[in-house]
Amino acid sequence: MEAWGTHLAQGRRRSPHTVRAYIATAARLLDHVEAADWNTLARVDGATLRTHLAARRQDGIGNVSAARELSALKAFLTFARTRAGDQQATPPRIKGPRIKKGLPRPITPDEAVNLAAGVEEDANQPWIGARDRAVLLLLYGAGLRIAEALSIKGSAVPLGETLIVTGKGSKQRVVPLLPIVRDAVSDYLAKSPWPLEADHALFRGAKGGPLSQGMVQKAVARARTVLGLPSSATPHALRHSFATHLLGAGADLRSLQELLGHASLSSTQIYTKVDAATLLDVYRSAHPREQG
């Protein structure tokens, strides 16, 4: 497990969360096959893998979790075969469950702005409200993942018209920053009781440590209830909304792919469906023939 974890973290540059999940998945397989070394693992075939996954399904995991486990196990067994000396290693051929890919649910521009304002008003301290508003505007105004926004260091200040963001797989990209986003960050820094440190997280928690995703999610949930916004109005929905609104305004997919930091264009293409779905909703709610 130590070798597998090192390979994931250093060789594949996976996130700590992914490393933990992949190690746990591999450990469950080891309990099932009782493999003592890499050579034994290298001989695990598709039938054994199917039996193991069938047992996991009986434990109650759904299609999405089963597909994720299968992907992790294929990667682990490929690694095992490489460690056993098979440099042309390929995982057992086994198809996972079919997953119906759901569409992200964007919120309107007004809802995004109101959500950021609501979070600010709901905070128990002015600096915390300014902080949370700045984070949410980064998600909606620049299309950042919440983890990306919270990983920004103090060295990024003063903010310019663009920001270098480190995303998944430690890949960097440049995103533009609107004046409203820069002003929100400046307002937070002016109110924050904590000193700005180049090597410390820009966004601080109440006790001065790095701000956690959970705290942002809780703040959004409280504001969402007060504002009467749908449950789909989550921090991650702000990133979806950023993409959907840009596409609706004429942005091309390649540019959107760069802004979002997607590794492949197929990940970005889902937003064409989102935009079409949004237009269809507008049509159905506004067209006279749909009112009868």
Task: Give the catalytic positions in this structure.
Answer: 145, 168, 236, 239, 262, 271
Dihedral of alpha carbons 27, 33, 35, 41, sign: negative
Return the ∠ at Cα 55 (arms to 50 and 61), rounded to 5°: 105
End-to-end CA distance of the chain: 62
Per DSSP, helices labelled H in the chain are 2-6, 16-33, 38-42, 46-58, 63-83, 109-122, 126-142, 146-150, 179-191, 213-227, 235-248, 253-260, 265-286
47-62 b/e (C-beta count within 10 Å ≥ 16 → b): ebbeebbeebeeeeee
Half-sphere exposure of 238 (CA within 13 A, CB side): 28
Helix axes 16-33, 63-83, angle to 10 degrees: 80
Half-sphere exposure of 280 (CA within 13 A, CB side): 6
- The span from the CA of 241 to the CA of 281, in Å, is 15
- The span from the CA of 235 to the CA of 127, in Å, is 19
